[in-house]
Chains A and B, each alone.
Chain A
Amino acid sequence: MSLRPCAAAGGSLLSKEEIDANFSDLHEPLSGLQARAEADRCLYCYDAPCIDACPTSIDIPTFIHQIRTGNVEGSAKTILSENIMGGTCARACPTEVLCERACVLNVSEEEPVEIGALQRHAVDYLMAKGGAHPFKREPETGKHIAVVGAGPAGLSCAHRAAMLGHKVTVFEAKEKPGGLNEYGLAAYKMVNDFAQKEVEFLLGIGGIDIEYNQRLGGTISITELQAQHDAVYVAVGLGATNALGLQGEDKDGMRDAVDFIEELRQAKDKSTIKVGDDVIVIGAGNTAIDAAVQAKRLGAENVTLVYRRGEANMSATDWEIDLARTNGVNIRLWSAPAAIHGKSAVSSMTFERMRDEGGKLVASGKSFDLPADMVLKAIGQKLDTSKLEGFDISAGKIVTGDNFKTSVAGVFAGGDSIQSGEDLTVQAVEDGKQAAHAIDAFLKAK
Chain B
Amino acid sequence: MADLKCTIAGIESINPFWLASAPPTDKYINVVRAFEAGWGGVVWKTLGEDPPVVNVSSRYGVHKDGNQGVLGINNIELISDRPLETNLEEIRRVRKEWPDRVIIGSMMAVIEEKVWKDLAVRIADAGVHGIELNLGCPHGMCERGMGSAIGQVPEMVEKVTRWVKEAVDIPVFTKLTPNITNILWSAEAAQKGGADAVSLINTVNSIVSVDLDEMAPNPVVDGKGTHGGYCGSAVKPIALNMVAEIARNPETRDLEISAIGGIETWRDAAEFIALGAEGLQVCTAAMLYGFRIVDDMIAGLSEWMDDKGYQSIEDFCGMAVPNTVDWNELNMNFDTKAFINPDSCIECGRCHIACEDTSHQAIEFTVANDGKRSFTVVDEDCVGCNLCAHVCPVPECIEMRPVDNGKPYVTWPNHSLNPMKAAE
Contacts and interface: CB of A to CB of B under 8 A. Distances in A.
A49 B346 CA distance: 11
A68 B393 CA distance: 17
A340 B182 CA distance: 92
Contacts of A227: none
A49 B393 contact: no
B249 to A, nearest CB: 41
A338 B232 CA distance: 73
B346 A46 contact: no
Contacts of B365: 47
A337 to B, nearest CB: 38
B350 A43 contact: yes
A424 interface: no
Contacts of A37: 67-68
B333 to A, nearest CB: 33
Interface string B365-404: 1000001010000000000000000000110000000000
B375 to A, nearest CB: 10
Given A46-B349, A104-B346, A68 B373 contact: no
Contacts of B68: 33, 36-37
B419 interface: no
A107 interface: yes
A68 B67 CA distance: 9
A40 B346 contact: no
B67 A47 contact: no
A33 B64 CA distance: 14
A291 to B, nearest CB: 34
B348 A43 contact: yes
A68 B66 CA distance: 7
Interface in B35-69: 65-68
Interface string A156-189: 0000000000000000000000000000000000
B349 A45 contact: yes
Chain B interface, >50% SS class: loop
B346 A108 contact: yes
Given A37-B67, A104-B347, A46 B394 contact: no
Nearest to A37: B67
B66 A49 contact: no
A49 B350 CA distance: 13
A296 to B, nearest CB: 38
Contact of B349 (A33, A47, A52, A107): A47
A46 B66 contact: no
Contacts of A105: 346
A414 B348 CA distance: 34
B349 A48 contact: yes
A107 B344 CA distance: 9
Contacts of B373: 47, 49
Contacts of B248: none
A115 interface: no
Nearest to B397: A108
A110 to B, nearest CB: 11
Contacts of A48: 348-349
A285 to B, nearest CB: 25
A39 B67 CA distance: 9
B352 interface: yes
A44 interface: yes
B353 interface: yes
A104 B353 CA distance: 16
Interface string A128-161: 0000000000000000000000000000000000
A52 B371 CA distance: 10
A320 B373 CA distance: 29
Interface in A45-81: 45-49, 52, 68
A152 B67 CA distance: 36
A108 B393 contact: yes
A63 to B, nearest CB: 15
Nearest to B348: A45
Contact size class for B? 10 to 19
B74 to A, nearest CB: 21
Given A36-B67, A68-B66, A108 B394 contact: yes
A200 B365 CA distance: 44
Contacts of B65: 40
Contacts of A40: 65-67
Contact of A39 (B66, B347, B350, B394): B66
Contacts of B348: 43, 45-46, 48, 104
A36 B350 contact: no
- Residue among A44, A68, A105 with max Cβ neighbours from chain B (10 Å): A44
A44 B350 contact: yes
Contacts of B350: 43-46
A338 B68 CA distance: 60
A57 to B, nearest CB: 15
Nearest to A106: B346
B284 to A, nearest CB: 22
Given A40-B67, A104-B346, A107-B346, A46 B352 contact: yes
B393 A43 contact: yes
Interface string A88-107: 00000000000000001101
Interface string B319-362: 00000000000000000000000000011111011000000000
Interface string A103-126: 011011000000000000000000
A46 B371 contact: no
Q: Which of A33, A36, A39, A104 has the most CB of B within 10 A?
A: A104
B353 A36 contact: no
Contacts of B371: 49, 52
B67 A49 contact: no
Contacts of B349: 45-48
A288 to B, nearest CB: 30
Interface in B61-106: 65-68
A37 B349 CA distance: 22
A46 B350 CA distance: 6
Contacts of A47: 349, 353, 365, 373
Contacts of B67: 36-37, 40
A33 B352 CA distance: 31
A405 to B, nearest CB: 30
B358 to A, nearest CB: 12
A104 B346 CA distance: 6
A98 to B, nearest CB: 14
A47 B346 CA distance: 13
A111 B349 CA distance: 19
Interface in B225-247: none
Contacts of B353: 46-47
B212 to A, nearest CB: 11
Contacts of B352: 46
Contacts of A45: 347-350
A45 B391 CA distance: 11
A103 B44 CA distance: 51
A107 B343 CA distance: 11
Contacts of B347: 45, 49, 104, 107
A6 B349 CA distance: 42
Which of A37, A45, A46, A48 lies at the interface centre, i.e. has the most chain B CB atoms within 10 A of its CB?
A: A46
Interface of A: 33, 36-37, 39-40, 43-49, 52, 68, 104-105, 107-108
5 contacts: A36-B68, A43-B348, A47-B353, A107-B346, A108-B346
Given A48-B348, A105-B346, 5 more contacts: A43-B348, A46-B350, A47-B353, A52-B371, A104-B346
Interface of B: 65-68, 346-350, 352-353, 365, 371, 373, 393-394
